[in-house]
Structure 1
């Protein structure tokens, strides 16, 4: 009888331990599910728009002299006195170079990690377009369209990211000119 009771109590303890073990596993699973639910969901659309606005603001903060030069130089019926001076041309080149540097230092937010490679490629094109303008403005007869093709490539890349997020593609050129 003692052996029977001893076996019965051992069996009872084994069942009890097994029950406690599975209970701990379910508690762990519940804790992990709660942590995942508590983690904030990233609104990719909102983050993309914020990043796009940041790009435009960074460019607009540095490109005033470049825009001024382009406005003066592209005026068709301008008299020689109304054309930009060498000093304005130099300032425009510095302005374009400053925009390129600003764009090269701009980082894609962590919230957009899935779009990071595409956004960095677009930023690289935008920066290259402004650097091309800066370099072209150092020539005797600069072309006002320097870097436009590269800028268009950046627009296309950024547009694809926005379209993938079910947003209309933005036109950065309109925001910064």
Structure 2
């Protein structure tokens, strides 16, 4: 959704990635894994500013009382150990204060889209929320120009280190390497 909103402001917002080879314990190549390398934004400054506003709005947290309602609902649909009223109120207060630092949709998704069999620990919830909000934070940094070096490198050629076969042969010859063929020397 945020990428399409960027496009409507004339901004290309793109996530960069690189391939990382995967090998088993014997060194056999198993394939590649896509590793995200961050986001970059390309377009007019006005469009970037407007898109940054949209991203910031998408970071708006829910009111604490709404989060407390969601936590109360979660407590009814998950298994948890018996506790007294004070401990329950303390748990809801501690979780709601921490969850108030995340966007509303991220909190609601973390609580209800994940199929919690038992009441989640704070570490479990924080992991889900952090993963969901990381992309938005990276987008905001790209739009604000805070990651300019990475953006510049990603906006350039796809494979700047590639050279033609002729140029590679010239480099090798200049370094003193002599090409060999299966039938002897070239």
TM-score of the alignment, normalized to the shorter chain, above 0.5: no
Structure index of larger Rg: 1
TM-score, normalised with respect to structure 2: 0.30
* Higher helix proportion (structure 1 or 2): 1
TM-score, normalised with respect to structure 1: 0.31
